Structure formats: structure tokens, C-alpha cells
Amino acid sequence: MLPGKALTTAMGILPHKNLTEAQTLALSLDIPFWPQLPHFRFREDMYAQFSEHFPGIIIDEEKAVLRFSHDRFAQEFDAYLEASSNPDHFALSEESSAAFTSFLAQDLSSYPMIHGQTIGPISFGLKITDEEKKPIIYNDFVRETLYDFLVHKVTWQYETMKRVHPNPFVWLDEPGLEMIFKSFSGYTSELAQVEYRAFLSKLPGPKGVHLCGNPDWTFLLNSGIDIISVDAFTYGHIFVHYIDEVKEFLQAGKIISWGITPTLTDELSSETARTLTDRLLKLWKFLNEHGIDDALIYDRSWLAPSRCCLVNSNGTASIDQSYALLGEISQNLRTR
């Protein structure tokens, strides 16, 4: 069973330009990760980072954009199929991740788990558009290829981390997932549920999803994942109303990662470890009042920042503060 009891972790994106400082911060958590550093270079953007070798993709570093060409996809598809038999074809290159290799070179033996990350297929498919500005997720064949591609990318990353630690996992960043529940989306949530479950079933290790938004939480809680990362600071009051689904999720031994420390400077300025602990316990109390035991919630909980943030005017200071508060809240809960 996955360890719980208010262990601290975080999403992979950090605003740092200094690799050593970013890695030190990531290693300060109970469950560390290799950092993604989009301010260091464009190829570390979570969309660009995992688009390497996807057929049809055009990475324009000068303009810092990704584009998709159907003609190029057709030209490259056969070569992609042939290369798919080689796991190293899906490796994270040094040009795409400054931190991955150096993270794995650390002594990670004292940590209960380590994690990596990748952009999720729904977010990638909605973000990247073709020549007609149409999201590639609406093309059935391209979408099928995308799901297959990310299975290979996750598998390579997981197996590489497994060589240095017995308990790795790779979670999916899905900032765009809530969009499929909007009326204007051409990729229905019903179809997504079927395809997403099939995709997740092919992934190795514990399966986790992080998103900062507010989707239909039933979709994710019933998708077959083992770890769900929620922006509890912003949306926790909505999430906890999914009583039956949350209860079943926790009773199955799965983990809720409560994103409780804000990362925006103006939000942090009015919070302390005590106010944030109280905020989280208020959410837990609501679950208690609806039949979910407090001890179960605590046992199946992690703590994390509410979301990634690259826009604060004080550089990395607010992120450092958010991580420090996280440790204090964890200690508050452990000694409660």
C-alpha cells in the first residue's frame, strides 16, 4: 500500500533557473521529484518536454510555440511505428530535461518514494493544434497515437527511475482536463472516460493525476488512478462534496494529495501554517460529518502546494515559502 500520513510532495514545475537550487528544494520534500524548469529554457516547458519524437510535431524554439502538421504526421508515422520497439526512443533527452539525470544521481535511498511527471494526453491533445487551429485530440487517429506515445514515454521514465529506487511513480499533469466538461469541447467526457481508463491501465507503477482546475471529480475518482492531486486551497470545498466517490477511493487504499499551500505571493501574504492547517482540517471535518473516518483520511493523505506557479514577481521566494509552510502543516498534522 502507498504510504500516507501527511507526507509532503509537489508537482514538477518550478520557476527556478538555477538547477542546484531547484533540486535542493525538490529534495526537501518527503517524496521528491526531478524538477521541470521552463524558465531555464523553452524545451523544459511541460508540453515541449514530452513532444520530442511525436510524429507531426514542430518545436519552434525561437517563437516558443508547438505546432502540428498533418502532412508531417503522415510522413513520419511509419518511422515512429518502427522506432516504437526501442524503449530508448522515448527517453528524456538532456536538451529537454536538465534535472532528470542529476536527480537520479542523488542518494535517494532514504525517501519512501520518488516521482517523475509528464503532461497528460488530454491536456496535450487540447493544447496542440493543427494547421487549421484545431486541437489534435479531435482527430481519432492522431489521438490514438498520442495515447500510445505517452504510454511509451511514461514507461521509459518509470523504468529508468526504478533502477535507482524501488518505489517510483510518474504522475500526469492534466491542467486542461476540466475543459472536456465544457459544452464547446468536441471530445466528450463519455469518450474520454473510456479511453483514459484504457490508457491508465497500460501504465506501470502507481498511477497519479494532478490538475489545478475543477473538473467533474467523479471522472477522475473512478478512472482507475491511485493518486489524485487536488488544488484544495481553491477547490477543496467542492471536491469534498463528492462524498461517496471520495470514501470509496480512500477505502481502496488510494491517496489524495491535498494542495493546501498557495503559491501566489498575494495569497501567501495572508496565510500561516496554522491558518492553512485549519483550512485543511475544515475540509476533513466535512468528510468526517458525512461518514468518512478522520484516521482514514489522515492515513491516505499527502500534502502539496496548491499549484505550480511561474509568474510571481519575487522569483522563487514565494515558492520557497510555500514549500516551507508545507513542512510545518505536515508537522502540525502529525502531532495533532
pLDDT at 39: 94
Q: Which pLDDT value is given to residue 28?
A: 98
CATH number of the domain where residue 66 is located:
3.20.20.210
Q: Which of 249, 131, 269, 125 is nearest to 199 (CA)?
A: 125
pTM over cut 0.85: yes
Give residue 183's pLDDT. 63
* 327 lies in some domain: yes
pLDDT of residue 181: 82
What is the model's pLDDT at position 179? 86
Q: What pLDDT, on a 0 to 100 scale, did the predictor assign at position 72? A: 97
Please indicate, yes or no, if residue 29 is contained in any of the structural domains: yes
Q: Find the angle CA(241)-CA(277)-CA(119) to the nearest 5 degrees.
A: 65
In a domain, 240, yes or no: yes
Per-residue pLDDT, 184: 67
Residue 328: the pLDDT is: 98
d(CA 236, CA 225): 19
Q: How far apart are CA 29 and CA 12, in angstroms?
A: 12
Query: Which of 275, 279, 286, 243 lies closest to 258, judged by CA?
Result: 279
Torsion angle of C-alpha atoms 205, 207, 210, 216, degrees rounded to 10: 180
pLDDT in tens, 71-129: 999 999 999 999 999 999 999 999 999 999 999 999 999 999 999 999 999 999 999 99
- Do 92 and 157 touch, CB atoms closer than 8 A? yes
Cα torsion at 176, 177, 178, 182 (round to 10°)? 90
Distance CA 106, CA 95 (A): 20
pLDDT number for residue 311 = 85
Under a CB-based contact definition with an 8 Å cutoff, are residues 288 and 244 in contact? Answer: no
In a domain, 188, yes or no: yes
- Domain-embedded: residue 1: no
Place of cell 468528510: 287
Residue entry with cell 537520479: 104
Domain assignment of residue 322, given as a range: 7-334
Let me know if residue 2 belongs to a domain: no
Q: Provide the number of structural domains found in the chain.
A: 1
Low-confidence stretches of the chain (pLDDT beneath 70): 183-184
